[in-house]
């Protein structure tokens, strides 16, 4: 596909920090991904909204920057653009994600780069995505406890699971497996910790 080379070029600009994802809007799946760091691969569901408002604006330029969370809670700064159309219907979109979490403590110029302002046209790209909600919760808990996911201890991970459970994310099909993988724990450990949390809070185990 002609845009694969573009994705490769974008990802090679800053290796390990930029991910370029080509979405096939006709199938709702990822057609190609370069520099992947978001736990996704070609063929996975895109998780984009089926309807894209302001499609003509998107075709004429980029949407964003807008802020997202990676699976490990790190902040991402993203830009998206429709690059293929069939008449008035968007068919291909490139999303460029840049890891910026480790820049948040830098000088004012870098702080501007990692600001939280979002392009309102980008909301349909992330709304309804439980993974995005999980990423945000993980990042918020880690930030509050001043720890990274790699350095998180049992109590930190329990705090994350408690918040994910309160949000109802762990009741979504596929979510426990996804969260366990993201947190580098086994499915059994996740359910054991969740059982302890619910018993402590006096909840019934589902």
- Top pLDDT among 51 and 102 is at 102
**Does residue 205 fall inside a structural domain?**
no
At 49 the pLDDT is 60
What's the mean per-residue pLDDT of the chain? 79
Same domain, 150 and 167: yes
How many domains does the structure of the chain reveal? 2
Same domain, 15 and 113: yes
Same domain, 111 and 195: no
3-class SS at 79? strand
Same domain, 15 and 79: yes
Same domain, 8 and 110: yes
DSSP alpha helix (H) spans, the chain? 4-13, 55-60, 108-113, 123-126, 130-145, 154-166, 175-182, 187-200
Domain hosting 77: range is: 4-128
- Top pLDDT among 131 and 50 is at 131
Same domain, 84 and 175: no
CATH of residue 25: 3.30.450
At 68 the pLDDT is 82
Same domain, 9 and 35: yes
Q: Which two tokens stand for residue 164?
A: 């994910």
**Does residue 206 fall inside a structural domain?**
no
**Does residue 16 fall inside a structural domain?**
yes
Q: Which two tokens stand for residue 108?
A: 């004012």
Task: Round the CA-based radius of gyration of the chain to a whole number and report it.
Answer: 18
Same domain, 101 and 163: no
Average pLDDT over every residue of 172-197 = 89
At 106 the pLDDT is 56
Instruction: Give residue 34's pLDDT band: very low, low, confident or very high (50, 70, 90).
Output: very high
Domain boundary among 101, 128, 155: 128
Q: Tell me the percentage of the chain whose pLDDT exceeds 70.
A: 78
Enter the DSSP assignment of 204. Answer: P
**Does residue 47 fall inside a structural domain?**
yes
Same domain, 184 and 123: no
Instruction: Give residue 75's pLDDT band: very low, low, confident or very high (50, 70, 90).
Output: confident
Domain boundary among 75, 98, 128: 128
**CA angle, 73 as apex, 125 and 63 as ends, to 5°?**
25
Domain boundary among 128, 154, 178: 128
**Does residue 80 fall inside a structural domain?**
yes
Same domain, 15 and 73: yes
Full-model pTM: 0.55
């Amino acid at each position: 596909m002609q845009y694969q080379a573009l994705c490769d070029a974008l990802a090679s600009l800053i290796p390990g920090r930029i991910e370029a994802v080509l979405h096939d809007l006709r199938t709702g799946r990822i057609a190609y991904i370069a520099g992947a760091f978001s736990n996704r691969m070609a063929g996975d569901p895109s998780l984009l909204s089926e309807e894209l408002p302001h499609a003509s604006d998107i075709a004429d330029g980029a949407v964003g920057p807008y802020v997202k969370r990676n699976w490990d809670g790190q902040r991402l700064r993203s830009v998206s653009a429709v690059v293929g159309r069939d008449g008035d219907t968007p068919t291909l979109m490139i999303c460029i994600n840049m890891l910026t979490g480790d820049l948040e403590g830098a000088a004012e110029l870098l702080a501007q780069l990692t600001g939280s302002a979002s392009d309102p046209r980008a909301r349909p790209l992330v709304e309804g995505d439980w993974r995005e909600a999980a990423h945000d919760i993980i990042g918020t808990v880690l930030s509050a406890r001043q720890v990274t996911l790699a350095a998180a201890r049992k109590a930190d991970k329990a705090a994350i699971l408690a918040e994910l459970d309160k949000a109802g994310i762990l009741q979504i099909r596929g979510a426990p497996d996804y969260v366990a993988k993201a947190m580098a724990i086994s499915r059994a450990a996740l359910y054991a910790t969740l059982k302890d949390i619910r018993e402590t809070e006096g909840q019934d185990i589902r």
